[in-house]
Amino acid sequence: HARKFGVDVRDFEPVHEIVVEGNTKVVRMESGEELRAPALIMAAGGLPRYLQVPGEKEFWGRGVSYCAVCDGAFFKGQELAVIGGGDAAVEEGEFLTRYASRVYILHRRSELRAQPILVARAQANSKIEFIFDAHVTEIAGDAKVQDVLYEQHGEMKELHVGGVFIFIGFTPNSSLLKVHVDHDEAGYILTDRNMQTSVEGIWAVGDVRAQLTKQIATAVGDGTTAAVSASMYISALKDAART
C-alpha cells in the first residue's frame, strides 16, 4: 500500500549510521548510499532476550512465547511457566492467571527484582506459585511444550506445563540513535507525546521507545502520531524558508 503513494521501500538494506547535519538527517547505508531528509522516524523495534537453552527456539510458537497479552488466551485452563524475576515477569504472570489454571514463576535468584507492589499483588493471587533459585536448563516436549527442566540447589527438577513465557529482558534496537537522542538506562528512546525525541526532527515509535506496552496496536498509534507531527514539522520548515 505504501508503494502506491510513492514511498521508496528498501528491503533488507543495512544502515551503517545516522548523522545529524543541522536540519538534515543523513542515513548512511552499508552500501555507501546516503539518504537525506529533514525528518526521520525511528521504528526499528527490539528483541526479547533469550534464555539460550535447548528447546527454546525449537518450541517458539509451539508453547514458547515472549508476550502474555498476545498468546495467553491460547492456553486457557493449562498450567504455565513464566521465566524471570522483574516487573515484566511478575505482571505478565499475573495477567496469565486470567486464562491459566496455575502459573509458576521461576526465578534464578532467591529474591524478585520486581517492584514490591507488584510482588505483593502476585503473592496474593492463589493461582501463582513462585519457584526460586531455579536455573532453567531445557524446555522439552514432543509436538509442543510439555516440560521445563531446571536445576535447584544442585538437584535437577521437572515441571509439567503447557506453555513457557520468557521475560528476562528486552533490547531495543536504538544503537543507531543513542549518540544523538536521550534514552533511559535500558536503551529505550525517550519521546514526548508527539513521539518526538530530544532532537528536533527525529521521532521514535513502537518498541524502540520507552512506553508501557509492546503491542502492534500501540506501535501503529505511535506511527500515526509521529507521521502527523513530522508532516507539520516539514511544513513549518518550508514556510520558514519562504519568509
Helix (H) or strand (E) holding 227: helix 216-242
Is 67 an active-site residue?
yes
CA–CA gap between residue 219 and residue 211 (Å, rounded): 10
Is 11 an active-site residue?
no
Tell me which of 8, 11, 70, 182 is the catalytic residue.
70
C-alpha cell at 59: 518450541
- Per the rule left: phi > 0, alpha: psi between -120 and 50, beta: everything else, 86 is beta
Tell me which of 8, 11, 67, 239 is the catalytic residue.
67
Sequence length of the chain is 243
Tell me which of 11, 71, 147, 182 is the catalytic residue.
71
Do residues 48 and 164 lie in contact, with contact meaning Cβ atoms separated by under 8 Å? no
Helix (H) or strand (E) holding 219: helix 216-242
Q: Which amino acid is at 9?
A: V
- Which residues have a catalytic role annotated? 67, 70-71
